[in-house]
Amino acid sequence: MFENASAFILLFLVFPIIILYLLKPKPRTLKIPSLMLLLQAMQKSRLKSLIRTLIRDPLLLIQLIAITLLVLSLVNPYYTGAAGAGRVTIVLDASASMGATDVLPDRFWHAVSIAGEYVKSGDRITIILAEDSPVLFLKDAGRQKALEALQRLKPKATATDLNGALIFAAEMMKDEKGRLAVISDFSGQDITLARKIIEKEGITAEFSQVGTGGSNVGIVEAAIEGSDLKFFVKNYNDAAEDVKIGIIQNGQVRSINKKLGQNSREFFQVPDIGAGRTEVAIENHDNLAIDNVLYVSMPEHAMQRVLLISDSPDKRTPLSIAFKSIPSLEVHEVSFNRAPRTFNYDLVVLYDYTKSSPLPGMMDDLRRYVESGGTLLFVAAEELQLMDTEGLLPVNVSGMADPSGFRIRDPGLVDHLGTSGYLKAELRENAVELASANEGPVLAYWNKGKGKVVYLGINDRWGDFHLLDSYPVFWFKVLKFASPPGLNYRTGTLLPLGAEQRIEAPGSVLTTDILYLDQVGFYRIGDRTIASNLLDEQESDISVKTIDFEGKEQAAGGGIEKIHLDPVFLILALLFIFLELYYLRYRGDL
């Protein structure tokens, strides 16, 4: 087959060359009587002799062959065949929607089958999983190892970042292109940007779409307010559904029935769910089970307990007033000499103190409290640098600094700290800085054991921050950050634990210091139980819209590639041109 067949018209160049040979100067003819008889006999076969002469002329043959080969190289001849072995990069969608059963047994099984065909066509296999964020599952592995690894894969209960996975793949393929295969249901995904980046890098991607579209009714949003559970259920179907929802808690079951209109979203509320584990389940059968159950974990006491320790617990300080204005918060204030030896609180705050304020052994008690999972907050004091904190502080303090503006690294926590004096400090290894000034961090934290220590390098006496409207809001956000009351998270969340811990996860047991929530259900961490849910309206939409890949090859396996022959013909043409030059030199014409 030829990609540029119109170039065959250049073969007509052979005719001018032949004509030039015919018109070349001839020797002058003289009539010699003794030869007349012989010439008359030869004239009868003149045409036959002419053709024989042309064919036997080496220079003419060389030129004709060279021109033919050049023309063949210009028409881009090729043949098709199975893609050759080499590097194969596979982007495999492993998100929650790939567990849909609109195709049996599910979409992910079909995706893995397609990926297996790509693996068989390569020698070095790279697999990138498109989950909540791209995951490099395998890099440059052998064929057999890749096939075995594929069989161990299961879809995760997370959202999809297919764009991120494709951009990651393009970055990995910059130096060595290879083949790129993308296998997904493409539900709710706009990959326009990623495809432009891939095309810019000169990478040809092969897309395979799985799924036919199924029915689904799922829980897409939830929140806890006090002891009340509020959630939304969406009907993705084109017909109304009679939805039955069961609430299971401590062995007791109650139910809610409601009719949901087509493509509608309805609000539900369950009051007084109480402490412990609660499961809310949609009992209707559909093609995506992962969003049919809502897992909820409530602490034994719904209100957070905060202990403020200072040398002035009876004064109405701005900090004390701010904490007491926060709803659902139980605040206790004590002096240093009345502080308990054990701290049964979610958060302990130290403020307004001197180097001699803590009693002997108090810092050791606080260290054990933090390492067992508590949260300790140091508010700046002039003599903090002189206090023996037994290594609890995430910074090294070295004295007072001049008033300054502050740089905020986490605007979600605080957007303004005013202008005030602060403590000079240096961030310690493994600590995280949230706000800083010219001479060091002003807000920082680190994890110690199972707990956390937070440092604030300013206080109410060194500036006017406590006079701003944002002051109580700041403490509310700090409280949520330092000691989050929630035990309920979305899948895809990373939870730093401070130290390696044994975790009973849904369907498995693992040991880690950073927990990645990639399954729905309950996780048991020490004496805590947390819940993980999908709660993603886009991911629960398992409708499948056929994507126009704009002529790009869509393969369902090993793939077909073009094998071009034009370089071969070009090299042969050059060889004949050099042969022509050599012959001319040999004949003496050069």
Please give the single-letter amino acid code of residue 2. Answer: F
Please give the single-letter amino acid code of residue 278. Answer: T
Q: Provide the pLDDT for residue 304.
A: 78
Q: What is the mean pLDDT of the chain?
A: 83
121 plus 207 within the same structural domain: yes
Q: Report the C-alpha gap between 10 and 75 in whole angstroms.
A: 10
What is the number of alpha carbons within 13 Å of residue 132 lying toward its C-beta?
15
DSSP per-residue letters across 235-267:
E-SSS-EEEEEEEEETTEEEEEEEEE-TT-EEE
Two structure tokens written together for 377: 């907050």
Q: Report the C-alpha gap between 175 and 178 in whole angstroms.
A: 10
pTM exceeds 0.85 for this model: no
pLDDT tens per residue, range 101-111? 999 999 999 99
Mean pLDDT throughout 444-454? 86
Q: Provide the pLDDT for residue 127.
A: 96
Q: Provide the pLDDT for residue 46.
A: 52
Does residue 194 form part of some domain?
Answer: yes
Q: What is the CATH number of the domain that holds 120?
A: 3.40.50.410
Does residue 526 form part of some domain?
Answer: no
**What phi, psi does 125 have (nearest 5°)?**
-110, 130
18 plus 146 within the same structural domain: no
Strand residues in 65-195 grouped as ranges (E) = 78-82, 87-93, 124-130, 134-141, 179-184
93 plus 177 within the same structural domain: yes
407 plus 312 within the same structural domain: yes
* Range 392-407 burial, b when 16+ CB lie within 10 A, else e: bbbbebeeebeebebe
Q: Provide the pLDDT for residue 482.
A: 62
Does residue 489 form part of some domain?
Answer: no
Q: Report the C-alpha gap between 157 and 492 in whole angstroms.
A: 8
pLDDT tens per residue, range 246-276? 999 877 888 999 999 999 999 999 988 888 8
Q: Provide the pLDDT for residue 472.
A: 84
438 plus 353 within the same structural domain: yes
Two structure tokens written together for 201: 């890098």
Two structure tokens written together for 157: 């209960």
Domain range spanning residue 64? 5-26+47-77
pLDDT tens per residue, range 477-528? 777 666 555 578 889 888 777 678 899 999 999 999 888 999 999 999 887 8
Does residue 332 form part of some domain?
Answer: yes
Mean pLDDT throughout 123-150? 94
445 plus 340 within the same structural domain: yes
Highest-confidence segment of 38-52, 101-115, 196-210, 523-537: 101-115
**What phi, psi does 17 have (nearest 5°)?**
-70, -45
* Sheet bearing 134-141, strands edge to edge: 134-141, 124-130, 87-93, 179-184, 205-209
Does residue 513 form part of some domain?
Answer: no
68 plus 86 within the same structural domain: no
Neighbours of 546 (CB within 10 A): 8
9 plus 140 within the same structural domain: no
Q: Report the C-alpha gap between 120 and 27 in whole angstroms.
A: 70
Q: Report the C-alpha gap between 376 and 528 in whole angstroms.
A: 19
58 plus 138 within the same structural domain: no
Q: How many domains does the chain have?
A: 3
Does residue 128 form part of some domain?
Answer: yes
Pick from 422, 356, 350, 423: nearest CA to 386: 356
Does residue 523 form part of some domain?
Answer: no
370 plus 465 within the same structural domain: yes
Two structure tokens written together for 431: 């600590």
Q: Report the C-alpha gap between 542 and 87 in whole angstroms.
A: 32
Of 457, 482, 507, which marks where a domain is finished? 482
Binned at pLDDT 50, 70 and 90, residue 555 comes out as very low
Highest-confidence segment of 53-57, 274-278, 393-397, 562-566: 393-397
Residue scoring higher pLDDT (578 or 42) = 578
438 plus 404 within the same structural domain: yes
Phi-psi region of 103 (alpha: psi -120 to 50; beta: other; left: phi over 0): beta
Q: Provide the pLDDT for residue 47.
A: 45
**Is the pLDDT assigned to residue 91 strictly greater than 70?**
yes
Of 482, 504, 521, which marks where a domain is finished? 482
Q: What is the CATH number of the domain that holds 344?
A: 3.40.50.880
Strands 179-184, 205-209: parallel, antiparallel or unpaired by DSSP? Answer: parallel
Q: Report the C-alpha gap between 547 and 211 in whole angstroms.
A: 12
Phi-psi region of 115 (alpha: psi -120 to 50; beta: other; left: phi over 0): alpha
Binned at pLDDT 50, 70 and 90, residue 116 comes out as very high
pLDDT tens per residue, range 429-445? 988 888 888 889 988 99
425 plus 478 within the same structural domain: yes
How far CA 524 is from CA of 478, 487, 503, 514, 529, in Å, comes to 26, 11, 6, 14, 5
Two structure tokens written together for 137: 């599952």
pLDDT tens per residue, range 291-341? 999 999 987 655 678 999 999 888 889 999 999 888 778 899 999 999 998
Of 437, 455, 482, which marks where a domain is finished? 482
Two structure tokens written together for 204: 């040809």
Does residue 263 form part of some domain?
Answer: no
Pick from 526, 522, 479: nearest CA to 297: 522
SS3 label, residue 108: helix
Two structure tokens written together for 527: 């004496």
Two structure tokens written together for 264: 């509608």
Pick from 513, 465, 523, 456: nearest CA to 489: 523
Pick from 565, 465, 576, 442: nearest CA to 62: 576
